[in-house]
Copies of this chain bind each other. A is one copy, B any other.
Amino acid sequence: MNYHFLHDFLYPNSIAFYGANNKGTGIASFQVINLILSKYRGKVFPIHLNLDSVMGYKAYRSISELPEVPDLVIIYLPPKIVPEIFRECGEKGVKRIIIVSGGFREMIGDRKNIYTEQISQIAEKYGIRFIGPNCLGFYNNWIYPEDDTVALNTSIWEKLKRGKFSIASQSGTLSSHIWFDPEYIDMGLSRSLSIGNEANIDIVDCLEYLKEDDKTEVIGLYIEEIKRGKRFFELATEISPNKPIIAIYLGGTEAAERAVRSHTGSIAGNSKIYSAVFKKAGIIKTELVEEFLDIAMVLSKGVLPKGRRVGVITNSGGPGAMIANHAEKVGLKIPEFSESLQVKLKSMTSHTASTRNPLDSTFDMNLINYYINLPKAVMKSGEVDLIFMYGVFGYHDVLGKYLNNERIAHSIDMTQEFLKIKGNLEDILIRPTLKLSKRLSIPIIYINPENYSSPWSISIKECGGTLFQFWDRPVRVMAKICEYAAYKQKNSIGN
């Protein structure tokens, strides 16, 4: 792995903070709190004019008093004093700074912001690289690779699962708030970089770093403006066949332009041009945050389809019809199953079943048939590239509810059938199908309308299954993933 200067931003052994206090009401205070909660092991040096300690850390009056040169400085102070702070940092020998505070060029009518110019000059003089202004810092889930209970984290109050999805974002929300419900997100995070106004370090720097980063396999971007368009396009084109890039890009409406200008001070480019460029570079584009997360989640599972032929397996006609309808509208194919496959499926289902695709098994309590035999027959037929499977309910969880009722518990003997396989349901119903799915590179999308955190839904996710609660979002998501997979096939080295 080649050295990249952003690496040292993410692995500091010491951090100095401007702007944190013990009231705990400003962003800097929250950042120190998040650092404590994520168990950062490096040194923390609060710098404060009046306080002797901040959050239990000894405070210093100025950076010159620090016993060492900190690896990183984080500043949350009004813009007008930031140039002076930069100068002091430069004198001390600091090389890396994050400016969290806003109020620089995003202020209306002030694009040539004087403070931005001043800090840029000072940075150049002292060889300082800086992130921001107007950002939230970062999350590095691999700071101590051997210990996954620890993160370097200034922006989220939760310890997130570790994974290989990394984000670079011109919005702090898209790098942090979207993780405020970690249970809801079935993937791990690697790095998350909030880069704000990009006065010095930009999204191209991030892409260069993430390209070589062995802790990154899927990349998410939130973009309001691309400063170095040519280099961005070159890089994205190099990266995307190996590491999929999902990008939210806004533009094309008057209101978005206004919002974007107030937000990061960018002037958004023409949306159509961006769309064309993104497509050519193999970037998966979306304007929806849920879709952004959904796509990243599915890609993180690591099984890509080889085409766009969908098999639908359902035990209920309505969802089957809705999936088929929606899938064709977004460019997926629902081929009618061949005669021979239908004969096979008919032999495995009841007389009320429909086998044409969607395969509607109707009501079927033979779970091994439903979870194993039917998807196996469909996958092995060679007639589909991906599968939607509706109705993977937690029957055994429901059974538990039944057995809480005395009248029902005394009457029914359905328990026996379940007791035979209970305790090992994942191995019996899920793992063999997922193994085959991986081997044949045919993704399976499970859909269970129960709560995403219900016991059986958690089991499916823990086995590595791809799970959605409803069927609309995964259809759109898989259409985009199929498009990406086709791009990758065409553009991978060796093809």
Contacts and interface: CB of A to CB of B under 8 A. Distances in A.
A264 B316 CA distance: 11
B250 A325 contact: yes
Interface residues of A, number: 104
B255 A180 contact: no
Contacts of A180: 393, 449-450
Interface stretch (A276-284, A398-406, A430-438): A398-406
A173 interface: yes
B259 A324 contact: yes
Interface centre among A172, A317, A413 (most CB of B within 10 A): A317
Interface stretch (A19-27, A64-72, A213-221): A19-27
Contacts of A336: 258
A26 B253 CA distance: 54
Given A263-B318, A451-B184, A412 B173 contact: no
A258 B248 CA distance: 36
A414 B20 CA distance: 13
B360 A324 contact: no
B157 A398 contact: yes
Contacts of A259: 312, 317, 320-321, 324-325, 358, 360
A312 B256 CA distance: 12
Contacts of A327: 255
B411 A22 contact: yes
Nearest to A288: B472
A317 to B, nearest CB: 3
B289 A177 contact: no
Interface in A297-356: 312, 316-322, 324-329, 334, 336, 351-352, 354, 356
Contacts of A450: 180-181
Nearest to A334: B255
A83 interface: no
Nearest to A390: B173
Contacts of A8: none
Interface stretch (A29-37, A112-120, A141-149, A229-237): A29-37
A125 interface: no
A54 interface: yes
Contacts of A402: 24, 33, 37, 157
A473 interface: yes
Contacts of A317: 106, 171, 173, 259, 262-264
A37 B404 CA distance: 10
A14 interface: no
Contact of A55 (B328, B393, B407): B407
B321 A250 contact: yes
A322 B329 CA distance: 25
B289 A470 contact: yes
Contact of A183 (B360, B407, B451): B451
Given A157-B401, A262-B360, A172 B316 contact: yes
A394 to B, nearest CB: 9
Contact of A287 (B255, B290, B322): B322
A212 to B, nearest CB: 27
A258 B324 contact: yes
Interface string A102-133: 11001110000000000000000000000000
A410 interface: yes
30 contacts: A22-B411, A23-B413, A24-B414, A25-B417, A33-B405, A36-B408, A106-B352, A170-B318, A172-B316, A173-B317, A173-B318, A173-B319, A173-B449, A177-B391, A177-B449, A180-B450, A183-B451, A222-B318, A252-B325, A255-B328, A256-B325, A258-B324, A258-B336, A258-B357, A259-B360, A260-B321, A262-B360, A263-B317, A263-B354, A290-B473
Given A181-B451, A252-B329, A262-B360, 15 more contacts: A33-B405, A33-B412, A36-B407, A108-B356, A171-B317, A174-B318, A177-B449, A181-B469, A222-B318, A254-B334, A256-B328, A258-B356, A262-B317, A263-B317, A291-B472
